[in-house]
Amino acid sequence: MGLAVILAYLIIMPLFRSFRQPLIIIIAFPLGIIGVALLMWVTGTNLNIQSLMGIIMMVGIAVSYGNILIDRINSLIKEGKAKREAIVNGAADRFRPVLMTAGTTIFGLLPTAMARSAGTEANVPLAIAVVGGTFMATLLTLYIIPIMYLLIAKTNNTTNY
């Protein structure tokens, strides 16, 4: 899991040409872990290799939501908007796309997460990890990332450094 987070950070860093902005996105990972732990506890699912694979998948999903949000905020700042205005408008602009993408992921995996028939034992922990992590990461990403961007990111109207 740690390797997935490090690789995600290293991939995002050149995209934003910043050390701080990828850290803001990586904050979504621990938030997703909260959702994984809660849903696994509620369903009585044990942590195993399948659920760890689901957590790695959730890292990628949570990072993509953060990328969508931060990229929009950066583009609004480049258009000349003030930092706070860009954050509010960017979060509002990307709220629906992030929710729709998360909804399709969650509702697409719900049948697998709830399956109890023979042969589904291997896939259930993976689906539970992805559903729980994606749900929590989505909810918290839409609120925490804009706040963290306001507090952490250095921006001006020309660069993202």
- pLDDT recorded at residue 72: 93
Dihedral, CA of residue 65, residue 71, residue 74 and residue 80, to nearest 10: -110
Residue with tokens 């023979």: 118
Residue 160 pLDDT: 45
Q: With respect to residue 132, please indicate whether it lies within any of the assigned structural domains.
A: yes
* pTM attached to this predicted model: 0.83
Give the pLDDT of residue 156.
54
- pLDDT value, residue 62: 87
Residue 120 belongs to what domain range? 2-13+21-152
Q: What is the CATH number of the domain that holds 67?
A: 1.20.1640.10
Amino acid at 126: L
- Domain-embedded: residue 29: yes
Tell me, yes or no, whether 78 lies in a domain.
yes
Q: Examine residue 77 and state whether it is found in any structural domain, yes or no.
A: yes
**Model confidence over 50-94: pLDDT tens digits?**
999 999 899 888 888 888 999 899 899 999 999 999 999 999 999
User: Based on the structure, what is the number of domains in the chain?
Assistant: 1
pLDDT beneath 50: ranges in the chain:
158-161
In a domain, 157, yes or no: no
In a domain, 119, yes or no: yes
CA angle 79, 86, 17 (to 5 degrees): 70
- Asked, for residue 160, whether it belongs to a domain, the answer is no
